[in-house]
Structure 1
Amino acid sequence: MDIQAREDARRWLAEDGVAQVGHDEWTDGEAPDHRLTANEVAHNWAGPAFTDERLDAPGQLRLAFGLLDLLDDYWVTCEILFAHQGPDGPLPTEVLWNGYRRRLEAPQVSEAVTYSLWVDWFEDRSTSATAFAEVLGHDMDQLTTDAPDTLLRRARRVLECSGPVPWQTKQATYRFATRLPALHLALFKGLLSSYHDFYGDLQPDAALALLAELDLPVNTEHLKELRTVLTAGHSNHYRSPHAWDSALRTHL
């Protein structure tokens, strides 16, 4: 979270009469006695952040990220994506991805941030490679034993939701992650989602080799099942749903 961006967004909303009056309660200038949820505020004001003519494009994007910090609502990330892909896009690249990186590095990450990466940026083949590179891939050579905690937090969160990213895009970063035990569980979750996500992508032999390098507790949930289906050459749950069911029965 960017505290300054959040407070700038709060002041921007206040200029339009929008004020927070409770944990998830807001009012606006037109009907001060009517209560709005954060989601309603996001639907009504996140889009207009990108039409505020007092701000340049980077300023509009920073305002949108401030609204995300303030409202903690997925719809704000949708408006960011709409603006990026709209007629006035793309958005300023460094501001866009620095905004994601900073929030992925925070002690507490917003679920809206990781969810938007997963279902919007990573599932879309036209954006997945760029998005993955920007939030982690470009920094994979920094995944060393003395890597800062901020990078490790970001890496864990990206790996966990990286299932839909094409295998060729993420394989090298996955391999780097095997070098750090602190990332092993997150990488396992990435491999598991690469198998189970509807858009998940992996190569069974290569994924099995990575799995063999992970130092995980023997009772890690679904470790045995994942190893079984990969050994059998299956690459995705939805292409062979019986394979996972059979593995579950085998390891009861």
Structure 2
Amino acid sequence: MTVAPAGPKVVRQRGASSGTGRFRVPLWIVRVALIGVLLALVELGVRLRFLDPFFVPLPSRVVVGMARSIADPGYLRLVAVTLGEVLAAFVIAGTVGVAVGFVLWRSVRAGQAFEPVVAALFSSPIVLLYPIFLVVMGRTPTAIVALAAVFATLPTILYTRMALREVRRTLLDVGRSLGLGTWSLFRHVMLPAAAPTIFTGLRVALTYVLIVVIAMEYILQIGGLGLSVAEASLRFQAVDLYVSVGLTVAISATLMWLIAHLQRVVTR
């Protein structure tokens, strides 16, 4: 009777017991646990009166309020208004910003001439020009979308041009040596190489879109979560205030996750 060699089996067992095969906790569980710990500490601080409940309500009450708000059709309309304005401004800023950044990269002279201007505008408080947008477009959501889009377009332009400039020439030479055409070279070489920096610019743009939209809704008292925050603060309703802020954070986190997923799709 022949006995089969046990060598391969032993190797597999050693590999399974090695450090590389150890169980790792998913990152989303770590994030949720961290948020839970922070909320528990705040809850404890409020209950022990280290924090004034007039200004910082119990997180448990805020979570219950968020659940009730999501089930309220009237409140969902406010969320839909804010989400619509954010998405509209972000799509405009992303499309225009990437296109202009590409043009400034293709034309070296134009890039050298206009990049300092774009950077100067980005560092200036453009949001203070909202009265001009109101005069031109009226006290409407269109004015909010336009102001947010203009502000968010600037970092997208800067990051797109920088991303394309930093693509290594070696990668382009290898692509040309493989016979790739202009579009194939851009799609399969340049875009994956530049994508991380471009998507960093899109994340910055989304941040500014959210800030401008919520701030303008708050100041102008025009629909959306900003209006809810304004009304809650005027009535000194801390729970309602934190509910609106919490939903804004949830929307921001969801959109950031979608951008990260889109980046993975583009860089495949």
TM tier relative to shorter chain: under 0.3
By percentage of residues, which structure has more helix?
Answer: 2
TM-score (norm 2): 0.25
Determine which structure has greater relative contact order: mean sequence separation of CA pairs < 8 Å that are 6+ residues apart, divided by chain length. Answer: 2
Larger Rg: 2
TM-score (norm 1): 0.26
